């Protein structure tokens, strides 16, 4: 995978930044569009949609990057602004359906800074539209969305659960501090027999196992 990414980067290095960003945005939109029928046919639901990645968190990061590229595309191609706005709305809806809270929160924080960077100046209309969209998202979250996105108690339990999993991963790293567990072997590092947290053990009793610490940086350190 790493070699493929480096090779792809070398092939694309002579493409202009603007053309590359536009192509990437179109690719993200096509992937997002294809993910709707794919998820409906295979999972029979669009809630916690994972798209072609079959993983909601990865799909959400993909969509979040698309929304940022969309801000750039608005400036690059003003003649297509209405189409890009429709694409942005579709990406945002799919992001909400992914149920990934962290990406939604980060996007609310990052998007205004990115718009400022892309346009290079303050536009009152742009900021008013942004505030209106955030307010609409907040109202819809309270009114329509499932408790995964709106229930503070559930969010607190979820964060506690992930911290417990990451503590277990860091503890496992002490066993093999130099060579790691190897790529694809995180299930060995997070073996249920080595866990002590009751929330994690409950997951084990439900016949699940862990192949990630829910943090990609910890996973890479643990593996390599």
Per-residue pLDDT of the chain (224 residues; tens, 9 = 90+): 778 989 988 998 889 988 999 999 999 999 999 999 999 999 888 888 999 988 898 999 999 999 999 988 988 898 998 999 999 999 998 998 888 888 988 988 888 878 777 666 566 766 677 777 777 766 665 555 666 665 666 667 878 888 999 999 999 988 888 888 988 889 999 999 999 899 999 999 999 899 889 888 899 889 88
Q: What is the dihedral of CA 183, 186, 187, 190, to 10 degrees?
A: 160
Residue partners of 219: CB distance under 8 A and separation at least 6: 169, 186, 212, 213
Task: Tell which phi-psi region holds residue 99, choosing left (phi > 0), alpha (psi between -120 and 50) or beta.
Answer: left
pTM value is 0.72
HSE of 178 in the Cβ direction (CA atoms, 13 Å)? Answer: 0
Rounded Cα–Cα distance for residues 69 and 107 (Å): 12
Structure token pair of residue 188: 């060995």
Res 178: pLDDT? 84
């Amino acid at each position: 995978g790493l070699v493929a990414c480096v090779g792809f980067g070398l092939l694309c290095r002579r493409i202009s930044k603007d053309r590359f960003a536009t192509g990437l945005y179109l690719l993200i939109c096509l992937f997002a569009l294809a993910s709707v029928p794919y998820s409906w046919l295979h999972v029979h639901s669009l809630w916690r949609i994972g798209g072609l990645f079959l993983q909601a968190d990865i799909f959400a990061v993909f969509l979040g990057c698309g929304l940022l590229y969309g801000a750039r595309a608005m400036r690059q191609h003003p003649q297509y602004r209405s189409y890009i706005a429709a694409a942005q709305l579709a990406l945002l809806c799919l992001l909400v359906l992914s149920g990934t809270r962290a990406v939604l929160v980060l996007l609310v924080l990052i998007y205004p800074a990115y718009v400022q960077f892309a346009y290079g100046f303050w536009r009152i209309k742009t900021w008013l539209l942004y505030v209106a969209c955030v307010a609409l998202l907040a109202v819809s979250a309270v009114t329509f969305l499932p408790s995964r996105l709106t229930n503070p108690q559930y969010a607190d339990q979820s964060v506690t659960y992930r911290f417990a999993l990451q503590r277990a991963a860091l503890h496992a790293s002490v066993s093999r501090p130099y060579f790691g567990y190897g790529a694809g072997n995180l299930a060995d590092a997070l073996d249920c027999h080595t866990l002590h947290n009751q929330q994690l053990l409950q997951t084990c009793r439900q016949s699940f196992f862990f192949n990630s610490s829910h943090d990609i940086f910890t996973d890479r350190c643990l593996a390599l």
